[in-house]
Chains A and B, each alone.
Chain A
Amino acid sequence: MKNNILEINNLKVFPNLKSRLKLVKNISLRLKKGKTTCIVGESGSGKSLTALSVMQLLSSQLSMSGSIVFEGINLLTLSKEEIRKRRGKDIAMIFQEPMTSLNPVLTIGYQIQEAISVHESLNKVKLNNRVLKLLKTVGIPVDRINSYPDELSGGQRQRVMIAMAISCSPKLLIADEPTTALDVTVQAQILDLLNDLKLKFEMTMLFITHDFGVVEDIADDVAVMFQGEIVEQGSVANVLKKPQHPYTRALLDCVPDAYGKKDLKPIDYAVLKELMG
């Protein structure tokens, strides 16, 4: 399919020493160009492992099989050097806790420059202009260019991470719970920013979250993961409004809504097991 920028086929992730134990079990996922696909699931469902597999950032204790095809090339067959060239340029990633991803002893301006210099050689003036432009794009006052990470708020730090991630105009942005550690009002701002950037740069996004409210806000398509498998996938409207799989239905029944109208129903795992066969 030409419209798919990334195709994950039969991906399995397992520990090197215990290959029978599958942490991600045979999942297949297509990312449509220019769309946001959310992977939603509870802790331990394998959603982060799936994201890390695409970036090939899995722990050395883990192996994977299957294929991950990005623009017609199977990433799993590439050498480390070829992967490194794509990582950060074609495919970029942002994480949950921006403070742990930023170097506390370097200014944010320097760190954004570094992200660019890995992939492009620009002279000092051009580099500086590029950084200023990026800061404006993500909504950080340009006079903050010489600030250190600890001088910024959590939301601003996440904006810096986003600036670094989009610095080389990636085609695919992977976001692993980027707003989970943020206050709700800041979360809303960051989601709005990511939505705007997606449209502006025609980026494709793979967005990992555990929050169905966030899914509703940001996703075009959604894949629900449970115990290492994708149990249901489709457009947001279909999956959230007309869930087909018993687990999706049960999980949606646990999510409190903003109207207080529905009763929360904890998952009855015995019933779920029966329904899933």
Chain B
Amino acid sequence: MEILLEAKNLSKKYVKTTGFFTRTKTVIKALDNVSVSIKKGITLAVVGESGSGKSTLAKSLIRLIDIDKGSIIFRNKNMRTINGDTLKSIRKNIQMIFQDPYASLNPRMKILKIMEEPLKVHKLGDSKYQYSKILSMIKRVGLVEADLLKYPHQFSGGQRQRIGIARALILEPELVICDEPVSALDVSVQAQIIKLLKSLQKEFGLTFLFITHDLRIVRHIANEVIVMKDGKLIEQGKTDIIFNNPKTNYTKELLASIPGNLSKRK
């Protein structure tokens, strides 16, 4: 299978200063020698509890944060050394969907403008082409043309997530990083969004890096899983194998903690 992105030995440290007078410095390893390879066309889930480094990993892959050590190769280009236009063109190929779409949609822009922006930044086609592209994408995620003239606050949480997905996909990326995209949604809306993501993946041949803390969702959406804890990669492999035959105690504990599994804990 073709490998889309290969990250090796990623490390990232944060220095935290605590104490008002004493100023003690503690070093937090957000990423501790983490290596990941993402195969084309699959969904790779990153699971872990808060503070495990899963979001740091996602952000470092598209250089929203700079790492201290390691290499990230995407389509034969070293993400750590490229700059300017090359970085911009690579970022077109890697898009992100966030947990809270409201926080990532400008409240003063109509949906049309929000959707136009990425196309304008990357100078894709004339305005007529752009409009038809936006229209087909917004319809594809289950909204209607009239919605383009509305503002983000006029939508429900699920609809906003649909807009977030449409904006991410309008540039036809190869890799989509989904950072807890359904965590803030009700289960019925969550099921809609998961179904939508799965069908879009099939249609556009997308690769997903799916960050979540919910193992039940991992089971439904992911082909492969990475388990993280305290910035370290604890375990990785095919979803079925990890769920049926976890190797480490931490993964076992995580699996036993899935709500509805009380009998397994006792």
Contact = CB atoms under 8 A, between A and B. Distances in A.
B216 A266 contact: no
Contacts of B188: 42, 250-251, 254, 266-267
B194 A264 contact: yes
B82 interface: no
Given A42-B186, A192-B265, A213 B254 contact: no
Contacts, number: 100
Contacts of A216: 259-260, 262
A184 B215 contact: yes
A3 interface: no
Nearest to A264: B191
Interface string B186-230: 111011101100000000000000000111110110000000000
Contacts of A218: 262
A257 interface: yes
A264 B197 CA distance: 12
A251 B217 CA distance: 16
Chain B interface: which size bin?
A: 20 to 34
Given A42-B187, A260-B220, A184 B262 contact: no
B83 interface: no
A237 interface: no
A266 B254 contact: no
Contacts of A257: 216, 219, 260
Interface in A193-235: 210-214, 216-218
B259 A260 contact: no
A112 B200 CA distance: 52
B50 interface: yes
Contact of B215 (A214, A250, A258): A258
B239 interface: yes
B195 A266 contact: yes
B257 interface: yes
Nearest to B260: A213
B258 interface: yes
A202 to B, nearest CB: 20
A46 B220 CA distance: 29
Contacts of B216: 213, 255-258
Given A183-B213, A256-B220, A191 B191 contact: no
A122 interface: no
B257 A187 contact: yes
A213 B255 CA distance: 13
A185 interface: yes
Contacts of B215: 184, 258
Contacts of A210: 186-187
B256 interface: yes
Contacts of B214: 184, 256
A43 interface: yes
Nearest to A253: B191
B68 interface: no
B102 interface: no
B239 A260 contact: yes
Considering residues A183, A214, A253, A264, which has the most beta carbons from chain B within 10 angstroms of its beta carbon? A264
Interface of A: 42-43, 183-188, 191-192, 210-214, 216-218, 250-251, 253-260, 264-267
Given A214-B259, A251-B187, A258-B215, 7 more contacts: A185-B257, A211-B259, A212-B259, A212-B260, A216-B260, A256-B219, A260-B220
26 contacts: A184-B257, A185-B254, A185-B257, A186-B49, A188-B259, A188-B265, A212-B187, A213-B258, A213-B259, A213-B261, A216-B260, A217-B262, A218-B262, A254-B188, A254-B190, A256-B190, A256-B194, A256-B214, A257-B216, A257-B219, A258-B215, A258-B260, A260-B239, A260-B243, A265-B191, A266-B188
